[in-house]
Structure 1
């Protein structure tokens, strides 16, 4: 039997040593997934993303960035807009517009959200951006939409005997991809465009109703924003069909 000291040394030698965790590698989106559509004959792809869907005030905004799948180069520094500092988004926004073959941002107001609901308002904002792209002489072959729900295509007719939808929506094939804004450069670029455009709208609206702090919270449901709504009530730019002060308070 080995001496106690030797047994102790042997046990210690066999103990696994702790290793420092490797640093996370910053992954930037690419056009790899977008280029998979080349095999189906697509050449022009429109990346689409929305911002403001969960806000209490202001519009919902939809950005579109069109790329040529055959020869578009990458744009350094672009990521999902939520992962970028405001100053970086502002710096990148004109670069994205120059980089994209075509780009646009459409909006649906808080009044429209209250009147038709958030999904229809997303479709309305997306349609406005889509028609702006078409008006510029660019017709994408395919659309890549962030998320799992296709809110951009026209509403499906209930039956062949019902009238067609009222001209809203994108008439190109729409493909959805969860977290596309994290991995697909066209969608990340669209998110930057939409975020910058909507933030500027909220800063402008702040001058009309400074108490709500929209220059900081951009209309989202921060505790201080809800507190002001409780004290002063909603403004003309709030989505009054929503639970503005929190569940159970209104």
Structure 2
């Protein structure tokens, strides 16, 4: 069994001068439909050990995630979840949409001094050309402009080793799963309550039979579709 994540890395960053550290993780990057979602939790020097059972959300059953999510919310100094929807992914591209979702999460936290981000790519910090020439109009219109992004530390597999990042992954996963389960009621043939918008066989079969919906990422090469298919859904 994988060792439980700890706050060792988070406490090191806090000792390095961050009074309030936001830990972040994303879900939905590889889905065919639905949002990309960023979860964030804030920890400080007084934050206690994470609730027992906190792990990377991918290692937990849905029942365990649902049980842990409210405990994480009570444990964290602050928490927030941000989404970027399929039309925003299509308009901006995936990386900029991740940034937008992250900015929306940051906006719900209050001031933080640093972000610990799962992975090896800082998608939160606006590119240098935006700092020089201003954010693209599409980003500004969608609410990404005006968010102050503190220094970002990236860490590969932080969701496996850092308890606050694992906690953020649980909040992101439960929030996005709830959206996909609700959308399933609108389009039950795609079985989103089960596959959460990823490329499961039933989802691909429904795409082939019924075409895309308003919730699909239409700029993507979606499996099961003929190249020139037009949706009536």
TM-score by length of 2: 0.89
Aligned counterpart, 2:134: 163
Report the secondary structure of 1:64's partner residue: strand
CA shift, 1:43, in A, is 2.1
Aligned counterpart, 1:20: none
Contact 1:206 1:212 in 2 (8 A): yes
CA shift, 1:244, in A, is 1.1
Of 49, 55, 60, 1:79 maps to 55
Would the alpha carbon gap of residues 87 and 77 (structure 1) be closer, same or farther in structure 2, given more than 3 Å must change?
Answer: same
1:51 correspondence with 2:27: yes
Whose radius of gyration is greater, 1 or 2? 1
Aligned counterpart, 2:82: 106
Aligned CA RMSD, in angstroms, stands at: 1.8
Aligned counterpart, 1:141: 113
Would the alpha carbon gap of residues 123 and 170 (structure 1) be closer, same or farther in structure 2, given more than 3 Å must change?
Answer: farther
Runs of 4+ more than 4 Å apart: none
Measured in 1, the distance between the counterparts of 2:146 and 2:125 equals 8
1:116 correspondence with 2:92: yes
Which runs of no fewer than 5 residues in structure 2 stay unpaired? 228-233
1:203 correspondence with 2:174: no
Aligned counterpart, 1:34: 10
Would the alpha carbon gap of residues 91 and 151 (structure 1) be closer, same or farther in structure 2, given more than 3 Å must change?
Answer: same
Measured in 1, the distance between the counterparts of 2:92 and 2:179 equals 21
Would the alpha carbon gap of residues 169 and 53 (structure 1) be closer, same or farther in structure 2, given more than 3 Å must change?
Answer: farther
Would the alpha carbon gap of residues 198 and 164 (structure 1) be closer, same or farther in structure 2, given more than 3 Å must change?
Answer: closer
TM-score by length of 1: 0.83
Which runs of no fewer than 5 residues in structure 1 stay unpaired? 1-24
